């Protein structure tokens, strides 16, 4: 999984896998979800990320059982 933030365009890209993208869905005018041939999420793009998320505060935690 990768997370990339492009400050010059205020775009947040979340990449979940490297599978080929076959379809893109608009969740709203600023959020796109891209899926593979099996319908699994490959990536998510968030435009105007500062309005949609708190891109300045990002953390990752692996939950334990």
pLDDT confidence of residue 11 = 95
Give me the count of residues in the chain: 65
- For 17-56, what is each residue's pLDDT tens digit? 999 999 999 999 999 999 999 999 999 999 999 988 887 7
How much helix, strand and coil, in percent to the nearest 5, is found in the chain?
5, 40, 50
Residue 65 within a domain:
no
Residue 64 within a domain:
no
Q: What is the pTM of this model?
A: 0.84
Q: Residue 35 corresponds to which tokens in the numbers above? A: 């899926």
Query: Checking phi first, is residue 39 left (phi over 0); if not, alpha (psi -120 to 50) or beta?
Result: left
Range of the domain at 18: 2-52
pLDDT confidence of residue 18 = 96
Residue 60 within a domain:
no
Q: How many domains does the structure of the chain reveal?
A: 1
In what helix (H) or strand (E) does residue 46 lie, and over which residues does it extend? Answer: strand 41-46
Residue 42 within a domain:
yes
Residue 24 within a domain:
yes
Residue 59 within a domain:
no
């Amino acid at each position: 999984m990768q997370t990339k933030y492009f400050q010059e365009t205020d775009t947040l890209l979340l990449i979940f896998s490297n599978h080929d993208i076959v379809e893109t869905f608009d969740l709203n005018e600023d959020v796109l979800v891209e899926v593979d041939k099996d319908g699994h999420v490959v990536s998510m793009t968030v435009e105007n990320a500062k309005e949609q998320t708190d891109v300045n505060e990002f953390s990752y935690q692996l939950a334990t059982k």
